[in-house]
Amino acid sequence: MPEGHSVHRIARQFARHFVGKQTAVSSPQGRFAEGATLLDGHTMIDACAVGKQMFLEFDNHLWLRVHLGLYGAWDFAGDFTADASLTSARGRPGQTAERGTILDQDAAEDSLSSIGAPRRRRLRMSEQEELRDTEFSFPAAPVGAVRVRLLTRDTVADLRGPTACEVQTPEQVDASVAKLGPDPLVDDQALGEERFVSVIRKKPTPIGLLLMDQSVVSGIGNVYRAELLFRARLNPHTPGKLVPEEALRALWRDWCSLLAIGVRTGQMLTMDGLTPAAHRKALSHRKDRHWAYHRAGLPCRVCGTNIVLEELGGRKLYWCPIDQA
């Protein structure tokens, strides 16, 4: 399932290449036909993400809410700026690309805006970002079960397989956001920290489950959960109310830092203190990117004990029984 950094990056694609443009909205699959009719022909005026959910606002005071879930993905095509040095991802949906598109306009030489004029490209965005420079007529005919197509004069976005795709009023958007925990890229980080700490300190639920609860904190999924807990040396089974307050504050601040890195690089890069060579390697290969995630049976990078894999709340949990005892 796409984690918070991916959804923020998708929202930035929309903000850069769709906001301010009149948009033709359709549902080639037919399952979103009624909603498409409500949005069709209107101008997109905002695009934002909160945790794993994205909200697109149109000039008729309606919003499109999208939650990609386990299988959802956006396919972009048309004239949009992208990093020409991007290599194609060879992973399956659910994996991060081997390199990520840098979408931060303030990222100097890594900025998309530093590349120059927009180019005709194709890009798939879920946990996987795959860039393809190919010749194609614009707009290409929809392929497969496209739930919704958003088409401007020079860009197109096709949505497939989302868990949620619905039109909402401003009041409904407010209600949806109110159900979500703090997001470091949306909420004031100091206020978010207080809310995060306050909620968890009241819960008897294991911290490993609380971090995946989107009403407690927005955007954390399986990868970030495992890595945050390892970096904090926290046992995932510890009840939230028994985790020391300072440990919770450090956990929140670490999440703020890792999420920012994820949005900037397109990678869930959770190992720090790396040499330049090791950093390049980590950006290229997932196996060199994490402390614990997806390392079941392999030696802990700190103590050498084999990383444990178990199921917690229906999801795979990776942790070290020594360093996180």
Catalytically annotated residue among 9, 12, 16, 52:
52
Per-residue three-class SS string for 244-311: CHHHHHHHHHHHHHHHHHHHHHCCCCCCCCCCHHHHHHHHHCHHHCCCCCCCECCECCCCCCEEEEEE
Number of H helices, E strands in the chain: 8, 12
- Residue type (1 letter), 159: L
At 149 the three-state DSSP class reads strand
Annotated catalytic residue 2 = yes
Distance CA 234, CA 247 (A): 9
130 catalytically annotated: no
Catalytic residue among 120, 195, 315, 316: 315
**Pairing of β 146-151 and β 155-160:** antiparallel
Can you list the alpha helix ranges (DSSP code H) found in 72-131? none
Contacts for 279 with CB less than 8 Å, ≥ 6 apart: none
Dist CA 54 CA 7 (whole Å): 7
Contacts of 218 (CB under 8 A, 6+ apart): 4, 50, 51, 52, 180, 181, 182, 183, 186
Provide φ and ψ at 176, rounded to 5°: -65, -45
Q: Which of 2, 162, 182, 206 is catalytic?
A: 2
Instruction: Note if 315 is an active site residue.
Output: yes
Q: Would you please indicate which residues are annotated as catalytic (active-site) residues?
A: 2-3, 52, 315
